[in-house]
Structure formats: C-alpha cells, structure tokens
Structure 1
Amino acid sequence: MSQTIVNLALPVVTEKINVLLLGYPFYPYQQTFASPAVRERLVAYVLSRIPGFYVSMDHVAACSLESPGNCYSAEQHQQIEQLIHQGIEHLLNPRQAWGSSSTLDPSDSAFLPSSWFG
C-alpha cells in the first residue's frame, strides 16, 4: 500500500489568509493581495515561521484533509493569525524593516547614488 505524506499547514494558512484579509480595507490590502504572486509571498512568509504539520494519508484519523484546522491548538491558530498580520504589514511596508535610518537627508550628498560614480 502506497503512503502519501501531506503538509497540513498550507491549507490552514491559506484559509486563514482568506478570512483575515476580508477584515482589511479593499485598498491597499485586499487589492494588493488579490495578486497570486503577492499572496504566495504572504503564504511563504507565514509558512517559513511555523512548523510544518505532516500526516500520512494512511494514518489520517484525528486530522484530515477535509478539516486540517483541527490539527492545531487554539494557541497555534492565534500564532498563525499574528504571523499573517505581520506578513501583510511586512509585504506592504518593506521600508519599515529598514527603520528610520533609511531616510537620508538630501543635503548629505555622500550617500546619494549619483555621487558614488563620480
């Protein structure tokens, strides 16, 4: 008998993203994450920060593909939701990761790209 190993984190994260994005305003949140490429980046952001939950298709009793959310505790669901919110903000505000040091004073020409090359 052949066994298939499935990561149940993906459908849980995808479902939570769909639900949580409905609570955000259309612009810029829902509009931005309507793009499959941006949505995949959000999914990857969250999945890279949580442990995978794998099951074998022969041993799917308590956890199943029909209801993979039952495999996680309430605390784990809350953590996934927090990561989704963080990922949304991270992807929409990439300069936020740089902090206030990313804004340069225009009078400081040593840091302007045009001065780098002579």
Structure 2
Amino acid sequence: MGYKIANLTLPLVMEEVEEVLQDYPPYPYQAAFSIHKLRQLLIAEVLSQIPNEYTVIEDTEELSIQHQNSHTPLQKRLQREMIIRQSILDILQKNTEWHS
C-alpha cells in the first residue's frame, strides 16, 4: 500500500476563504474573487503567512475538513480569518484592473 503527503492547511484555508467572502458584498469582493487567478492569489497569500501542517496518509485515504476544523483552537481560526480579510483588501488594492 502506498502513502502520500497531505497538506492539512490548504483545504482548511480554501473553506475559510469561501466563508469569509460570504460576509462581503457581491461587488466588488465576491465578483473579484470568483476570478480563478485572484482566488489563487488570495489562497497563496494566506498560506504564506501561516504555519502549514502536513501528514502522511494512505493513497486511498481522503482528508476530512470538518474533522480538522473542529480540532483547531479558536485563536488560530480567528488569526486565519484576520489574515484572510487583510489579504482580500491587499489583493483588491493591487489588482484594481481585474474588478474595475
């Protein structure tokens, strides 16, 4: 049986980005980050500012985001949310041509 390295942080950040964006108005925030390139920039920016966690799982095994999030301390979740919100503003400011 084979094994693979799984990034535990990436799916968590992707889900949290989606949740945070729901708090923002459709235009320009949700519209801008519906653009694949801007969404990827946002996720990369957040991942670059937080510690990433990895694990080794069997090739056939899938990760459960719900299980991960329920075991994350509140302080870490709030810190990620703050980073996501700041990154949203920074990326929109740097990429005004994408949403104007």
User: What's the TM-score once normalised by structure 1's chain length?
Assistant: 0.70
Residue 49 of structure 1: CA displacement?
0.5
Runs of 4+ deviating beyond 2 Å: none
Structure 1 residue runs of 5 or longer lacking an equivalent are: 59-63, 96-118
Residue 74 of structure 1: CA displacement?
1.2
Which of residues 40, 65, 84 in structure 1 aligns to 2:63? 65
User: What's the Cα RMSD here?
Assistant: 1.7
Q: Greater relative contact order (Cα 8 A, min sep 6): structure 1 or 2?
A: 2
* Residue number in structure 1 paired with 2:78: 78
Please give the alpha-carbon distance, in whole angstroms, between the structure 1 residues aligned to 2:21 and 2:35: 13
Residue 51 of structure 1: CA displacement?
0.8
Q: Are positions 1:3 and 2:18 aligned together?
A: no
Structure 2 residue runs of 5 or longer lacking an equivalent are: 96-100
Number of residue-to-residue matches in the alignment: 90
User: What's the TM-score once normalised by structure 2's chain length?
Assistant: 0.82
Please give the alpha-carbon distance, in whole angstroms, between the structure 2 residues aligned to 1:69 and 1:55: 15
Structure with greater proportional strand content = 2
Residue 76 of structure 1: CA displacement?
0.8
Please give the alpha-carbon distance, in whole angstroms, between the structure 2 residues aligned to 1:27 and 1:86: 17
Structure with greater proportional helix content = 2
Please give the alpha-carbon distance, in whole angstroms, between the structure 1 residues aligned to 2:71 and 2:9: 9
Please give the alpha-carbon distance, in whole angstroms, between the structure 2 residues aligned to 1:7 and 1:86: 23
